[in-house]
Structure formats: structure tokens, C-alpha cells
Amino acid sequence: MVSEENTSKAEKAPEVSERHQQRMQKLKEKVDARIEAAQEDKGLLLVLTGNGKGKSTSGFGMVARAVGHGLTAAVIQFIKGGWECGERNLLQNAGVEFHVMDTGFTWETQDKAKDTEAAQRVWKEAKHLLSDESVDVVMLDEITYMLTYQYLDLDAVLDVIAQRPPHQHVIVTGRACHRHLIEMADTVSEVNNTKHAFDNGIKAQKGIDW
């Protein structure tokens, strides 16, 4: 015997389904309208900042996506260049050009003159890439530290990014991104730190953290 409760649910099912369809139709109309309104085609400046883990990883994901679509990409690595980089191992084999500061973390070198010289060296390569119309995507990994420590001139960096080829996308990663870069950016994502294994004494894991 079918219970009264099950009978009631069966009777209401068409009504529930119709309300759901109506809600989804309204949502679709809103999404379609936004898609229709977004017709500008341009190179984007994307900023990935915040204190959480995953900023560079997200940037490398976009580089991989671009390469998967046949775009040309290049990466400038600041700060962490002294470490082996799994993404670099993979993407170089896919034709992605890399230029690496290769001094490691600034608290390890403790040599501002050396770090400034290294930053200026790879920034020179970045400027070349940011003026090259054949390069579709340029990732400036951890460049925010270079601006915080004043190894690079903020106005010069902003000007070069602003003057890049119109179709070229630029990905900026690193903590404490300068407000002027954030204001210039088309897309800004902040990665927050809720919990990190390192805080509980777990060492960085190959293939996950580096």
C-alpha cells in the first residue's frame, strides 16, 4: 500500500519540477544576457594574490591551458627560482620559455644588492617578452615581492605592462600585490590561508608543494 506521504510527494512532483525549471530558466536568461553583453576582446591582466597557498599553481594552470589551446606562453620566475619546479619541468617540454631569477628566497640570500641585480636581469627579459607580439601569455611569478622590496621600480613595471601588445595576457602572482597593480588588473583573485600543513610541522611535499 502506498502511504499518504508518498502519494502527496508524487502529486507535488510535477509542481516542484515546474518551479525548478522556471528558476533555471530565469538563471539562464541572466547568464545569457551577461554573455551577450561581454563582447570586448582584449589581453587581460590577471592578479593572483593573498596569503594562501596556490597562487603560482593557479597561474601555471592558466599557462598550461593557454598552451593547450595552441597559444605561446613565457614565464618569468622571481624569488623561488632556486628550487626545482615541477611546473617548469613540464611546461618547458611543451615549449614554454622560462627566465629564472635563480637566487632562491630573499631571506636566504640576505644580500639586497645581489637580489636587486638578479631581479633587474630577469626583468630585462620580461620587458622583451612584454613587447613581443608573438607571445600570447606572460606570467610574472612572484613579482609582487620585487615591488615590495623595491628591487624593481613600480612605475616602470606598470608602464611596461600597460604598453604591452593589445592581445597579450599577463598573469601576476605573489602576496601583498600593490594597489596600483590591482587597480589596473582586469581580474583579481585573493587566495586566503585557512589551514596549511606546514604550520603543523609537515614538510613541503614533492609534486604537491613544489
In this structure, are residues 67 and 93 in contact, taking their beta carbons and an 8 Å threshold? no
Arithmetic mean of pLDDT over the chain: 87
Strands (E) located in 111-200: 137-141, 169-173, 187-190
pLDDT given at position 15: 75
Global pTM value = 0.82
Q: Which residue has the cell 618569468?
A: 76
Residue 160 host element (H or E): helix 154-162
The predicted-structure confidence for 18-56, as pLDDT tens digits, reads as follows: 787 878 787 787 877 776 776 767 999 999 999 999 999
Asked if pLDDT for residue 163 goes beyond 80, the answer is: yes
The predicted-structure confidence for 1-18, as pLDDT tens digits, reads as follows: 455 555 565 566 777 777
pLDDT given at position 103: 65
pLDDT given at position 57: 94
Q: What is the mean pLDDT of residues 153-180?
A: 97
The C-alpha atoms of residue 82 and residue 102 are separated, in whole angstroms, by 5
pLDDT given at position 59: 97
pLDDT given at position 38: 63
Q: How far is CA 191 from the centre of its chain?
A: 10
Q: Which CATH topology does 45-200 take?
A: Rossmann fold (3.40.50)
Q: Which residue has the cell 620580461?
A: 126
The predicted-structure confidence for 85-123, as pLDDT tens digits, reads as follows: 889 999 999 999 999 987 655 545 567 888 899 899 999
pLDDT given at position 41: 74
What is the 8-class DSSP label of residue 46? E
Q: Of 76, 144, 80, 89, which is closest to residue 107 (Cα–Cα)?
A: 80
Q: Of 66, 31, 59, which is closest to residue 137 (Cα–Cα)?
A: 66
